[in-house]
């Protein structure tokens, strides 16, 4: 039976490149001079911005957004937290990178597919969604439906099988 998977995964190399480019831009820009601004990718799913005040943290976040967009990484993967004082004269902001489809979004997608009256079924498997149907045309119609829908998650389609 034909099927495909709906996933939400970013290219880690592109994220690393975007963070590195944003860091270089922050170091070179005059408005960040003497602010001790820094942009660090702490681990696989966390980016930390530090600076001397909230305004420079927000400006650094805008630089990061610009670089992510230029590298082709959707901003839907980013979940910035509120800037927090980090002791002394520094402010820190943590940005979490979201990967995978959360259960709430998966249920929303599943309901959307059911309401569309297409002859396909969607099942939730951990952080992916498998869509199956009898005909390839129905699956392609489901893909088009999901491409045009806004559920707050960046979606890719893979494992298309006939």
Looking at residue 81, which CATH number applies to its domain? Answer: 3.30.70.990
In this structure, the answer to whether residues 17 and 69 fall within a common structural domain is: yes
Give me the number of domains the chain comprises.
Answer: 2
Considering the domain architecture, whether residues 133 and 93 belong to the same structural domain is answered as no
Residue 126 scores a pLDDT above 90 = no
pTM score of the predicted model: 0.84
82: which DSSP letter?
A: P
CB-based contacts of 22, cutoff 8 Å, min separation 6 = 39, 60, 63, 64, 66, 67
The model's pLDDT over 86-104, given as tens digits with 9 standing for 90+, comes to 878 899 999 999 988 888 8
Residues 21 and 56 in one domain: yes
The answer to whether residues 22 and 59 touch, using CB atoms and an 8 Å cutoff, is no
Domain termination residue (choose one: 82, 97, 112): 97
Q: Are residues 80 and 20 in the same domain?
A: yes
Query: Do residue 79 and residue 126 come from a single domain?
Result: no
Last residue of a domain, one of 48, 67, 97: 97
Residues 86 and 139 in one domain: no
pLDDT of residue 44: 87
Neighbours of 77 (CB within 10 A): 19
Q: What is the mean pLDDT of the chain?
A: 90
Q: By percentage, how much of the chain surpasses pLDDT 90? A: 41
| Same domain, yes or no: 112 and 39 | no
The stretches of 98-150 forming alpha helices (DSSP H) are 103-115, 136-148
Domain that holds residue 29: 12-97
């Amino acid at each position: 039976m034909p099927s495909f998977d709906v996933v939400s995964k970013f290219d880690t190399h592109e994220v690393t490149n975007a963070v590195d480019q944003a860091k270089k831009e922050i170091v070179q820009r005059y408005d960040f001079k003497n602010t001790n601004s820094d942009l660090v990718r702490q681990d696989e799913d966390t980016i930390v911005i530090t600076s001397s005040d909230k305004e420079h943290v927000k400006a650094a976040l805008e630089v990061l957004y610009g670089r992510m967009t230029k590298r082709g990484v959707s901003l839907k993967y980013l979940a910035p937290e509120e800037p927090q004082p980090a002791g002394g004269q520094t402010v820190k902001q943590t940005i979490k990178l979201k990967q995978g489809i959360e259960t709430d979004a998966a249920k929303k997608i599943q309901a959307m597919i059911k309401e569309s009256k297409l002859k396909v079924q969607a099942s939730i498997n951990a952080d992916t969604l498998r869509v199956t149907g009898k005909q390839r045309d129905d699956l392609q119609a489901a893909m088009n439906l999901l491409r045009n829908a806004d559920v707050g998650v960046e979606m890719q389609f893979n494992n298309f099988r006939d």
